[in-house]
Homo-oligomer: A and B are copies of this chain.
Amino acid sequence: MSETQRTELEKLGEFGLIQELTKGFEIQHSSSIKGVGDDAAVIDCGNWYQLISTDMLIEGIHFNLMYTPLKHLGYKSVVVNLSDIYAMNGTPEQVTVSIAVSNRFSLEALKEFYSGIELACKLYNVDLIGGDTTSSQSGFAISVTAVGKVEKSQVIYRNGAKENDLLIVTGDLGAAFMGLQLLEREKEVFQSAPGVQPDLDGNDYILERQLKPEARKDIIEMFQKMELKPSAMIDISDGLASESLHLAKAGDLGFAIYEDKVPIDPTTFSKAREFNLDPITCAMNGGEDYELLFTINQSDYDKIKGNPNMTPIGHMTDKGSGCHLISSGGSAIPVQAQGWDAFQTRS
């Protein structure tokens, strides 16, 4: 290790760091179709492609046990990984779950956690096939790997978008972020006045989006029925801004997203206003929505037209045109990734 140089991780951000750390690595097997840099890795299994995705969730960074029920946490740990498999247009079939826990957890607490895993496995039709169980000095660390499959001709990468392709998002955005804001506020209220009951009434939607998100299995099934194959796809874990930029970068393109097209649920909208936040900022940068963002050729527009699950929000442009959010007033605002970055301090 160089004694003379010290580069702080904060300077790089997660994606810069991954690039730095893996740049010297070479692929040796022809079965390794896609490595680092998409939602999931792709392995050639002969008759189909296998998809492998892995995520780590760390206590105090990704979740706070003060307001996260362990069953929800187990559920979410699986779902966020399945979302990466769906983002490749694949079907998840197996998961492994590894945990490191300190002895402040009891068997009963871990059973709660695993009941959430079991529920997610049942609902998404995946098998728990392995994992590791170990102790930690203090916090709770979770590592889930999801394994899925996809017909070779049906795999969708981040880099397939073409100029003029429409940019489509599923569901609505920003709700999980507003759920988090609400939970954080009530936690602070509780910490300063422990007797006060949390004020969570009427906020079920945004709370559920944060605590018990779903992956868009239904969308992948719709694609099959509609005979639609998007040109590029990614799941929205870090906010619309960050994911759109990934699609643009991977496809060597730009994009224009129209502010007034971005789907935001009324609950999210009013809660953002209550918190003095701009709703579009919550949608662009909030993260953890686990919706899908994809591009289609304009000739496929009729297939998704009127589908309440899929909202066209803009289109891909040439790279030189840049990446912009077009405001309701018509001005073009450059989009920068301000999504959740594991190495930036959360404000």
Instruction: List the B side residues contacting A137 at CB < 8 Å.
Output: 58-61, 139
**Does A188 sit at the interface, judged by CB under 8 A?**
no
**Does A297 sit at the interface, judged by CB under 8 A?**
no
Using C-beta atoms within 8 Å of the partner chain, give the interface range for chain A: 35 or more
**Does A41 sit at the interface, judged by CB under 8 A?**
yes
Closest to A149 in B: B31
With the chains together, A206 CA to B8 CA distance in Å? Answer: 35
Interface string of A94-111 (1 = CB under 8 A from B): 101011110101111111
Cβ distance A62 to chain B, nearest Cβ, rounded Å: 7
Interface string of A319-347 (1 = CB under 8 A from B): 00000000000000000000000110000
- Is the CB–CB distance between A106 and B27 below 8 Å? no
**Does A143 sit at the interface, judged by CB under 8 A?**
yes
Cβ distance A53 to chain B, nearest Cβ, rounded Å: 7
Give A residues with C-beta under 8 Å from B.
1-2, 5-12, 14, 17-18, 20-22, 24-29, 31-32, 34-36, 40-41, 43, 45-48, 50, 52-56, 58-62, 70, 93-94, 96, 98-101, 103, 105-112, 114, 118, 121-122, 125-139, 141, 143, 145, 147, 342-343
